[in-house]
Amino acid sequence: MSTNNPNVRIERDTMGPMEVPADAYYGASTQRAVLNFPISRERFPRRFIRAIALIKHAAARVNADLGLLDKRLADAIARAATEVADGKLDAHFVVDIYQTGSGTSTNTNANEVIANRATELLGGQRGARLVHPNDHVNMGQSSNDVIPTAIHLSAAMAIKEDLVPALQELQRALRAKSQEFWPIIKTGRTHLQDATPIRLGQEFLGYAGQAERAVRRLGHAQDELSEVPLGGTAVGTGINTHPQFAGRVCALLSELTGVSVRETENHFQAQSTLDALVETSGVLRTVSISLYKIANDIRWLGTGPRAGIGELSLPEVQPGSSIMPGKINPVITESLIQAVAQVIGNDAVVVQAGQGSFFELNVMMPVAAHNLLGSISLLAASARNFTQQCVVGLQATEQGPKMLEQGLMLTTALVPAVGYDAAAAIAKEAARTGRTIREVAREKTKLTEAQLNEALDPEKMVIPGLGGGPAGG
């Protein structure tokens, strides 16, 4: 097969010659995948490409150290892989996410790009195969262990570098608001109904605790992701790989990335399942639900400003209506809530992908990677935006303290003195007449004004103690 078209060149693989774009670093097998999977415009994200390139870089160096690969070739591969890791050749990663379930086409894409670039670095032309994509770049590897390892590595890096810092920033902002709002006592709410008093700062302390525990849960996910199947090659047996290869590559990857990477002790479970990814996605779903609760509470506390709860004033970031002048909407919280919905949907895909494990291999790895990495990126970006454009600018209004004396559940503090039934009757009378608990209790009990002031002191109701009796939730 030959061509006179200056826009293409001929590359070959085991199926024969194939025309590829003249300026492409990929080869024949990648081009076949481009033609086979014209499904979407979705591609593996930058973080994944970086991870797979780092694996190829480390593999070349280790194979050279083991005496299996000529040092000159290994150095060229490592240099080319570094260029890929740095994003210089992203345009040449052209295979659709919806491809072969093992991600073989993308592993091949990486092998061919790195091989052709390494060939150039050695003075050859693209397609000359001075560096072979399979014999050299893929030495000691299989798509079946490289792709899941790249997913683990890229997810672990994304969590460490993006999501954890974003949640820590949110946690600090929420704790700062907790301290700022600590003097403000307002009516608590359970079942969306008035409950006993609470400090606004205590509510925000709860939100900060959710963010803090989200980071803790992600730590467990990071530990699960650190165990990788590299070294199992085709089915977990490690055929065609040096016994020390995986351990040495993992050590080098840990050094290169600052992320803990270790060879699994059981290649057969690691390579035939996506269990660690399913668990990680579950943690991301939990984190997203925490963020939903925080964002939803804040937007509800900011409802109004006159016909709603109105205890918080949210930052005004843009006009809220094309027809109602002056209307301001809680758009930052709405943005985060929509991101949460997407993460929950992504998790459903990862769960389904986890069920695509048959015998020695999972065959839904690309879509699992796409959704898992998408969730991490989305949560990190939306959490950071929520922190910067909403939380740090929150202000408390006078509405919470103003309505505190009207709260019917202040009667809880009267239970030790008058009993549950009498306190309930006071609450019902106050609700029926529109009077306060203090006013009805003054009329219906023998408590002195000093005793009422002592019992109905909000400051004493927001700390643990026996000033009040048991109350329903």
Angle at the Cα of 304 (from 302 to 310), degrees rounded to 5? 45
The reply to whether 377 belongs to the active site is no
Reduced to 3 states (helix: H, G, I; strand: E, B; else coil), residue 128 is coil
CA dihedral defined by 372, 373, 377, 378, rounded to 10 degrees? -40
Active-site hit among 29, 152, 321, 357: 321
What is the number of other CB atoms lying within 10 angstroms of the CB of residue 175?
Answer: 18
In the block, tokens 């014999």 appear at 135
Percent of the chain as helix, strand, coil, to the nearest 5: 60, 10, 30
What would the two tokens of residue 389 be? 């454009």
Among 25, 81, 76, smallest CA distance to 58 is for 81
Backbone angles phi, psi at 212, to 5 degrees: -60, -45
Q: What would the two tokens of residue 409 be?
A: 């559940």
Bridge partner residues of 11 (DSSP)? 18
Contact in structure between 54 and 75 (CB atoms under 8 Å): no
186 contacts 289 by C-beta, under 8 angstroms: no
Please give the span between the terminal C-alpha atoms of the chain, in angstroms, as a whole number: 79
Whether 92 is a known active-site residue: answer: no
CA distances from 253 to 243, 246, 356, 411 (A): 17, 10, 28, 62
Beta carbons within 8 Å of 111's beta carbon, 6+ residues apart: 56, 133, 134, 137, 138
Point out the catalytic residue in the list 2, 142, 191, 226: 191
CA dist 46 and 381 (Å) reads: 15
E strand or H helix at 19? strand 16-21
State the Cα–Cα distance between residues 208 and 372, nearest whole angstrom. Answer: 25
Q: Could you give the residue numbers annotated as active site?
A: 191, 321
